[in-house]
Structure 1
Amino acid sequence: MIRKRSSSNILPNTLGELELLVLEALWQQPHLDAKMVCSRIPSHKQPSLNTVQSTLERLYKKGLVDRIKNGHAYSYFTSVSRSNLLGRLMGDVIHLLHDGRLETILSSFVNVAADLDERSLNDLEALIARKKRELGEGEGER
């Protein structure tokens, strides 16, 4: 029997669902101990305290969270911003799947933005225009 692989974690060395939930809790409120992180995970996903502690340890070893000793427990906080992590994960996907054509990557960005809403597509256009201006200004300095 062939097991269908979960589409939520296709790439090796990516983050699992619980790791993302833990990071989300710490982005919303840094300096939480494991019990407080556990309490901020949605009730339908509620893992045990031991599981959350193991997840925090994995994230610490991956360099995504840092910690400070507070009495007998650690207080955790993220060591990476959401946008920085998103950039890293997107870079990993691009390096893994890139076929050598820039059009493939750009088309994917446009499709994702369009799927979100019209505002996201407008934001993408604004980012492109801003980057063009920055590049144009840089050429004038040479």
Structure 2
Amino acid sequence: MLTLGELERAVMEILWSAGAPVTARDVQDALAHRQLATTTVLTVLGRLERKGLVTRERAGRAHHYRTVASREDHVAELMRDALDAAPDRGAALARFLGSIPEDERAALRNLLD
């Protein structure tokens, strides 16, 4: 199962929210409250690229980064991975359904119909 560290998740949130490819500087500016070095941001973006979550393209002197999949696609993949790891998928699904609010169970019923 692909796991993300806290900083990787923060960077992914920025990329998902951007709506267009962004530079490492854009990411660094969005995380200004953390006072990260440019090299740290580039390292995280490189890790995300190696994990297959981000692509980069050269535009002038800078690289522009974008996500490979939407936030929803990523969450769906995590859910599939979690189910694949369960020895009893039915039991895991039952526990999951028992843990979510009724309105979300109703939404699932509607999607299944």
TM-score by length of structure 2 reads 0.84
The aligned residue for residue 95 of structure 1 is: 84
* Pairing of 1:47-58 with structure 2 (within 5 A): 47-58=36-47
Report percent identity of matched pairs: 31
Alpha carbons 2:83, 2:92 under 8 Å: kept: no
The aligned residue for residue 107 of structure 2 is: 126
The aligned residue for residue 6 of structure 1 is: none
Instruction: Mark the CA change 1:69 to 1:101 in structure 2 (over 3 Å): closer, same or farther.
Output: closer
CA distance in 1, matches of 2:47, 2:91: 36
Match of 2:7 among 18, 32, 41: 18
RCO higher in structure (CA 8 A, sep ≥6): 2
TM-score by length of structure 1 reads 0.69
**Deviation per residue, 1:25-70 (Å, 9 max, x gap):** 0111131100110111261x44221111011111112221111211
Gaps of 5+ in 2: none
Following TM superposition, the consecutive aligned residue runs of length 4 or more in structure 1 with deviations greater than 3 angstroms are none
Name which one, 1 or 2, has greater alpha-carbon Rg: 1
Instruction: Mark the CA change 1:46 to 1:110 in structure 2 (over 3 Å): closer, same or farther.
Output: farther
The aligned residue for residue 31 of structure 1 is: 21
Between Structure 1 and Structure 2, how many residues are aligned? 112
Gaps of 5+ in 1: 1-10, 115-120, 134-142
> How far does residue 79 in structure 1 lie from its aligned partner after superposition?
1.0
Instruction: Mark the CA change 1:35 to 1:101 in structure 2 (over 3 Å): closer, same or farther.
Output: closer
Matched, 1:107 2:95: yes
The aligned residue for residue 65 of structure 2 is: 76
The aligned residue for residue 7 of structure 1 is: none
Query: Please, what is the CA RMSD of the aligned residues?
Result: 1.9
Give SS of 1:15's match: coil
